[in-house]
A and B are shown apart, each in its own frame.
Chain A
Amino acid sequence: MMLPWFQWLESSGIGNAIRLSPWAFAVIESVHLLGLAVIGGAVLLVCMRQLGVGLQRQPIAEVARETYPWLVISWVIMMVTGSALFLSEAVKCYYSTPFWVKMTSLLLATIFTFAVQQRVARADETRVGPMWQRVVALVSLVLWFGVGAGGRWIGFSG
């Protein structure tokens, strides 16, 4: 049902241009990887702090607030470069299970991080117990791991 749509995306101007270039995919992929390092760092610092390790002497709210701009910047870089990579091989992605795992995880991880994790992390620490901070951190880690592992595995499939 969605296949014609994916075929149309792949034949779009951007998709074609990337596919026809010998180096465009490699360059965009590299920027995607650099974004991965930054978003990984931003997510990990908050999750680890919620788990009671890493910057454990700082308030959770401060770690969340201070890393937030980098989370947003790297998320945008990931979306832009990821979309470009997707456009160049949309049909391959359509048939790739890891791609769908990644997209599902990405949707959930994004909603959870921005709507739940950030709020819980910035909430009054007397109001939200350490147990909940830990649960939130673990859910976030699992979801983002799904995004990363799914993403890496798109390249191995097909």
Chain B
Amino acid sequence: MRFLAVDDEPLFLQLLETRMQGLGYPDLTKVKSGAEALTLLGVDRGFDCLLLDIRMPEMDGITLCRKIRALDGYGATPIVMVTSMSDRSYIDDAFAAGATDYITKPLERIEIKARLGMIAQWDAQTKMLKASQMQSPLSSYEIEPNYNFEDPITLPNVDRLISYMAMENYLLTLGLKTTTTLRAFAVHIENARSFYAHPKRAAFVDMIGDVATVVLESLKADNVVFSYAGGGTFVCIVRGEMQEDIEDVEVATNLYMTGFEEFYADENLPNPIIHFGSVVKISGFSLSRPTRLPELAIAAVENAVFKSSRPRGKLQVI
């Protein structure tokens, strides 16, 4: 795997290089500023993972992360923030800017081993998929069409939609205590399978992108982290209070979607039928894990769709 690290402290770059060599990741390119990184990434699209410091002079790591996400070829590449900044606001901003993971300094060998191991596994799976990919037209969201219905595919071109891996890492970085202050709900597309089964494979990804854009537009909120969990289901993590009533958002979303009817009809496809699940949270007394929150939200929407009994409008504390 090819890594690029950006940090204005040369000793930290040396330290990182030594640690990574010891863990079996010898291919590390080091640069000292965001400007240098952008110049390099503009001509070299072959890096598999980017490691960014947050606090740097001139261009901070969060701005750099956002700029990298806009570069050709780096929409879905894992970006790991490696930083001393452990305040909640930095974590929120980093993931909102497109970060995949967040490691705090000082650098513990065991932690970097675990986090890079996860990225390496993801990278190997992605490369395997690319290698076995069938020739098929790409959708306008530029994702390879070789995936299963249940896969939490990443759509790099949808603004504010983060990968499911990044959402899980966000919750793990915040920890269980902070996660108990968050709320979550899931959004399920009832007829998603008919899009997946369509001969034009890109139809499914295009529809997922359309729904994501419309839901985010309907939410009218900045305090959310939104991700596609696979199987036609999205998860939305809400920081703080829900600004809109969930039923109103569901109505608005389905109404917006009627504007797409013509496009879907051209492909002999139905309009997506979208359901919102109850808003859930983890109890403050829970001995759960942070990643239980999206699982609970998914269970709530499945319950709402499949059992047709949706006790919505009130918060479920589990």
Asked whether A and B interact, the reply is no
Give B residues with C-beta under 8 Å from A: none
Chain A contact residues, CB within 8 Å of chain B: none
